[in-house]
Amino acid sequence: MHNTIAKGFRAAAVLAGIKKKTGKDLGLIYSEIPADAAAVFTRNRVLAAPVLVDKEKIKSGKCQAVIVNSGNANCCTGGQGIQDAFSMCRATAQALGISEELVYAASTGVIGQPMPITKVLHAVPGLVEALRAEKAGGRDDFARAIMTTDLVPKVFSLPGEIRGKRFRITGIAKGSGMIRPDMATMLCFVCTDAEVPSRFLQESLSLAADCSFNRITVDGDTSTNDMVLLMANGMSGAKIGTEADREIFQSLLNDVLLSLAKMIVKDGEGASKLVEIIVQGAASDADARKVADTIAHSSLVKTALFGEDANWGRILAAAGRAGVPIEPDRVDIRFNDVLMAENGMSCGDAAEAAATEILKMPEFAIVTDLKSGKGRASVFTCDFSVEYVRINADYRT
């Protein structure tokens, strides 16, 4: 990982007073020139105001700045919420001296409370001033400002090369709870200084999201504010043109988004373990994904992970209710390389003891082999802890 942001992009953050807790809560990412843009949004039918606004803006395929607040989701706030999202964009555009159509907004926090728009608008001039004064990129300040229940900021950046031209992809994400992405993640902003054809940019982002953010779960809940925004300003001089160029760019984007996705699960509210749920031997990849999703979402499986209880019966039971045909007396279950159950039956006390040691690790895999075909899928999940209940019981208070 590298500690820089893609060429031509800057970021900054300030304290606007939106959150209950102290700390910066308003951030801005800015490209020196208008960038080609692509986005994916939540499929939740309850949509936050910024999502509604940005879904229209992205039709232009262009973006130059995005203003992001934490502490308030601006969701279920009616027509006023829509106007507040537009006001955030308008104020930012005026302060930057760019077109309002090139400014997007994003919000994260409590649902159903009016946006303290006066605080936001009052803070925008200082935010733009901080952006212009920031010489180091302001990336880490921005990453912290968009956090809610996150314990750590989530940033990942990788360099690439196309026909002798170097470029970079930098991603910044937030997310810890209400994580069961149904397109993307809670919030993620990706900047690249490569020049990428508009049509491929959207295809590339959608594919990368499916390979990363759509393979994670913390608690099975899909947010109302989910979005991933990808901006490509071309300032490195690297141009994505040929099929080989596209493969290089796609692979790099996949790596950046998957790294961020794993960070989100690892930082899941109260989580102590990052677990990859692998299902193989299914009749199809789609069937394998259904089984992996069901296991990964299971509260009983996740609480057993927290308790370091090698309760493979819960895993098999979850597989059996996934809605796809399985033959229970053919299923094998492994914790890393420890065979815990073979042909639907326990491998004994020694296997359980070995599996229990695996469960004490901060990261491991659970492999369920259905032995019914060549289908395979994997999903990343975490354990459910007492701390998760406490955080969400007290979230508004």
- For residues 146 and 19, state if they share a domain: yes
- For residues 282 and 213, state if they share a domain: no
- For residues 191 and 214, state if they share a domain: yes
Structural domain contains residue 3: no
Q: Is the pLDDT of residue 20 over 80?
A: no
Q: Which residues of 239-264 are buried (b: 16+ CB within 10 A; e: fewer)?
A: bbeeeebbebbbebbbbbbbbbbbbb
pLDDT of 3: 46
| Dist. CA 378–CA 208, nearest whole Å | 15
Q: How many CB atoms lie within 10 A of CB 35?
A: 29
- For residues 238 and 134, state if they share a domain: yes
pLDDT digits (tens, 9 = 90+) for 362-371: 999 999 999 9
Residue span of the structural domain in which 342 resides: 274-393
pLDDT of 268: 73
- For residues 284 and 233, state if they share a domain: no
| Dist. CA 379–CA 362, nearest whole Å | 16
Domain edge (last residue) among 222, 238, 266: 266
Lowest mean pLDDT: which of 52-66, 143-157, 339-353? 143-157
- For residues 290 and 243, state if they share a domain: no
Q: ∠ CA 252-33-51 to the nearest 5 degrees?
A: 70
Mean predicted confidence (pLDDT) in 194-198: 93
| Dist. CA 32–CA 86, nearest whole Å | 22
Q: Is the pLDDT of residue 180 over 80?
A: no
Q: Is the pLDDT of residue 185 over 90?
A: no
Active site residues: 185
What one-letter code names the amino acid at 279? V
Percentage, residues of the chain above pLDDT 90: 80
| Dist. CA 386–CA 291, nearest whole Å | 26
- For residues 69 and 212, state if they share a domain: yes
Structural domain contains residue 1: no
- For residues 136 and 250, state if they share a domain: yes
Tokens of 235: 């300032």
Tokens of 238: 């690297």
Q: How many CB atoms lie within 10 A of CB 238?
A: 25
pLDDT of 176: 73
Distances (CA, A) of 295 to 190, 290, 365: 30, 9, 12
Structural domain contains residue 145: yes
Among residues 247, 259, 68, the alpha carbon closest in space to that of 158 is found at 259
Among residues 317, 324, 262, the alpha carbon closest in space to that of 295 is found at 317
pLDDT of 179: 61
- For residues 325 and 232, state if they share a domain: no
Parallel, antiparallel, or unpaired: how do β-strands 274-282 and 375-382 relate?
A: antiparallel
Mean predicted confidence (pLDDT) in 366-383: 96
Mean predicted confidence (pLDDT) in 228-235: 98
- For residues 261 and 376, state if they share a domain: no
What CATH code is carried by the domain that includes residue 304?
3.10.20.340
Structural domain contains residue 202: yes
Q: How many CB atoms lie within 10 A of CB 390?
A: 12
pLDDT tier at 119, thresholds 50, 70, 90: very high
Q: Is the pLDDT of residue 297 over 50?
A: yes
Structural domain contains residue 197: yes
What CATH code is carried by the domain that includes residue 183?
3.60.70.12
Tokens of 337: 């390389």
Tokens of 171: 């991603």
pLDDT of 2: 42
pLDDT digits (tens, 9 = 90+) for 157-173: 999 999 999 999 999 99
Domain edge (last residue) among 224, 242, 266: 266
Q: Is the pLDDT of residue 237 over 80?
A: yes
Lowest mean pLDDT: which of 138-152, 191-205, 214-228, 345-359? 214-228
- For residues 296 and 221, state if they share a domain: no
Among residues 200, 246, 241, the alpha carbon closest in space to that of 37 is found at 200
pLDDT of 324: 96
Number of domains in the chain: 2
Q: Is the pLDDT of residue 258 over 60?
A: yes
pTM: 0.90
pLDDT of 259: 96
pLDDT tier at 224, thresholds 50, 70, 90: confident
- For residues 153 and 183, state if they share a domain: yes
Domain edge (last residue) among 266, 287, 307: 266
Lowest mean pLDDT: which of 45-59, 84-98, 377-391? 377-391
Residues 6 or more apart whose Cβ sits within 8 Å of residue 139 = 3, 4, 5, 11, 155, 170, 172
Mean predicted confidence (pLDDT) in 76-104: 98
The helices-and-strands tally (H runs, E runs) of the chain is 11, 14
